[in-house]
Amino acid sequence: MSTQQLSKILEASAKNPPPENATPDMMRAWIEEATSQLPVAENIKIKRVKCGPCEGDLILPEGGDDSRLVIFYHGGGFFFGSSRTHRVVASNLARAAGCAVLVPDYRLAPENPAPAAHDDSFGVYQWALSQGYTPGSLALSGDSAGGNLALATAVRAKEAGLPLPGAVTLASPWLDYTLEGASHQAVTDDPVITTELLDMLISCYLGDGDRKSPAVTPFYSDFTGLPPTMVHVGTWERLRDDSITVVERMRAAGVAAELKIFDGMCHTWQLYAPMLDEGMASIEESAAFIKAHLA
């Protein structure tokens, strides 16, 4: 385990705290700047595209197969994050999977409250089907809030009678808005996620809405018939039980769901992949899972 690598990353991050009394735009600019210097994968092309209800970055590695597509939904609590903040993850996923990766810029809260992000995410999947991508050539992926969107999109596609993707991969998905999982209370030293942050994000996206509504979280959904799914989470995460519980529920519904818990890793450690061995390992394993299940 690369404890020294992670310690150095967290120490550096602590020297660049978010601005005080920040507006949403200020917070988004801060995180964009904080991630802008991270090196993306080599030999890739990034094209800006219109993908149904929104725009996004379409990433294709040199020599990659553009007949296969991974839709990667970025994290950020539905409040910040973008196709740019997640280029490290998305570009390396494209490189390792050898196919195209689309990162849509869905609408963000509080300007666009629930279920705007979920509606956009489902709309992007519908767009991909309309472009001729077959179910066996499509995969859904995402981290944190994006993991919620990826799984929610698969569930919604099933309920709408649409063809399902060939695979789903989730990294530290945020699914439990009630904060009932044991890790929400047990992991008190999470270096990334605090209960105060979660409360703020929930307020911005859900307001006083139902925290268990299927319109905003697939945590309580019927998973029967969903495609093979891989979930990665760290031991050092307040959201750890979100992953453990959802995999248990998926397996109970007959889904081929895999769970890997990375010892000592914090929330969405994949963002630090160029400097963190476990970050790149998680991306590589997700890519291998996708390759194994796409035509």
* CA–CA separation, 209 and 187 (whole Å): 26
Closest CA to 128 of 152, 90, 89, 163: 163
Q: What angle do CA 212, 218, 224 make, to 5 degrees?
A: 125
Marked catalytic residue, from 237, 243, 282, 293: 237
* CA–CA separation, 119 and 149 (whole Å): 9
Marked catalytic residue, from 267, 278, 286, 293: 267
141 an active-site residue? no
Tokens of 220: 């309580």
Closest CA to 78 of 205, 175, 218, 208: 205
Q: What is the dihedral of CA 80, 85, 86, 92, to 10 degrees?
A: 180
* Amino acid making up residue 157: A
Strand partners, 231: 170, 259
Marked catalytic residue, from 83, 144, 243, 286: 144
111 an active-site residue? no
Q: Which residues of 219-247 are buried (b: 16+ CB within 10 A; e: fewer)?
A: bebebeebbbbbbbbbebbbbbbbbbbbb
237 an active-site residue? yes
Catalytic residues: 144, 237, 267
